[in-house]
Amino acid sequence: MTDSSLAELSNTLFSVSVALYSLALVAFCAELAFGRRRERAQESVGAAAGGGGGVALADRPAAPEVPAETARGNRWGLVALGVTVLGALTHAGVLLTRGLAADRLPWGNMYEFATAVVLVAVVAFVAFAVRSPGLRHIGVFMMAPVILSLVAIGLGLYTEAAPVVAALRSYWLAIHVTAAILGFGIFMVSGIASVLYLVRSRPGAESGTGFVSRLPSAAALDRLAHRTAVFGFPIWTFAVIAGAIWAEAAWGRFWGWDPKETWSFVAWVVYAAYLHARTTAGWRGRPAAWVNVVGLAVMIFNLTFVNMVSTGLHSYAGLD
């Protein structure tokens, strides 16, 4: 295939990915509507089966079957997860074909960088949902930001596939930018989990009704937010350090308080504060979750405002 054909294929796969993620969102909505949290269903079944007290095991009534509502919801969840995986594969194809078309790594501008960040977030969510099926109930709240992000990326950040500017023609592009993509994508999952934790941990939310009651428990959401932040923090730390080394090689100094450098460091400080808050009395729970949400906001600000509005040595947005 010619370079132009590969670039066109990349654009087509981008649209297909959005369509597949939209279908997955509908299926996740159906799971949220028809299903119940797995742990709650298991608790009710266990309580009914073990309520005999001193009754002999053989005399106890058989455990009731899982309600049809829950079974139907689980089927929708499996469909949603399968479609999400298919969407992630086409999403990866967007970057692969674009990289082949431009004959370089496909994250040399904001369009490619942001597209890759969203892909990492989707893959991270799928990995956790496969390991802990109860987390599928946050699929609606994961896929909605994913779809909105991709639509915004396609409408506002798109640029034609082309060689990168001379300043980016370095092996550090593969090291520094790849680490930044991985860290940002993982932090995206962590931030969304913290937002849901703040909703779930409100007084009365555990015993309430409606869609909030169908979310994973507050403890499970807090655990997801913390684990992803723990995983993403050293990656982001490496990205900041690698960026400083690249800056010394390119500009003759490790640090110059360029807007991009400054806000990357601010994000690092916020996530360090979140991880510290999780172990500090008085900051555990909701206060720490708010710090994590602020961290995600700083990351988004660093990607959008700093690249698109401020000027500095990192002005490589690739926008027309």
pLDDT in tens, the chain (320 residues): 667 889 899 999 999 999 999 999 999 998 888 766 554 444 443 434 444 444 443 444 444 444 555 666 688 889 999 999 999 999 999 999 999 998 888 988 899 999 999 999 999 999 999 999 889 889 999 999 999 999 999 999 998 888 877 666 778 888 999 999 999 999 999 999 999 999 998 876 665 566 677 888 899 999 999 999 999 999 999 999 999 898 888 777 887 788 888 899 999 999 999 999 988 877 888 999 999 999 999 999 988 887 776 665 555 555 44
From its phi and psi, is residue 166 left (phi > 0), alpha (psi between -120 and 50) or beta? Answer: alpha
Query: Who contacts 10 (Cβ-Cβ below 8 Å, separation ≥6)?
Result: 93, 94, 95, 97, 98, 101, 161
Tokens of 308: 């698109």
What distance in Å separates the CA atoms of residue 177 and residue 242, rounded to the nearest whole number? Answer: 9
**Which letter does DSSP use for residue 175 in this model?**
I
Q: Give the residue extent of every domain in the chain.
A: 1-49+66-164, 179-320
Q: Output the CA angle 95-309-256, nearest 5 degrees.
A: 90
Question: Which backbone phi and psi does 60 adopt, to 5 degrees?
Answer: -70, 145
- The pLDDT score that the predictor gives to residue 43 is 42
- The pLDDT score that the predictor gives to residue 70 is 60
Query: Who contacts 292 (Cβ-Cβ below 8 Å, separation ≥6)?
Result: 190, 191, 194, 225, 229, 271, 274
- The pLDDT score that the predictor gives to residue 220 is 93
What distance in Å separates the CA atoms of residue 277 and residue 282, rounded to the nearest whole number? Answer: 8
183 burial type by CB count under 10 A (0-12 exposed, 13-18 middle, 19+ buried): buried
**Which letter does DSSP use for residue 258 in this model?**
-
Amino acid symbol at 16: V
Q: What is the pTM of this model?
A: 0.85
User: Longest C-alpha distance within the chain, in Å?
Assistant: 80
Question: Which backbone phi and psi does 49 adopt, to 5 degrees?
Answer: -75, -35
What distance in Å separates the CA atoms of residue 127 and residue 182, rounded to the nearest whole number? Answer: 14
What distance in Å separates the CA atoms of residue 148 and residue 162, rounded to the nearest whole number? Answer: 25
What distance in Å separates the CA atoms of residue 268 and residue 262, rounded to the nearest whole number? Answer: 10
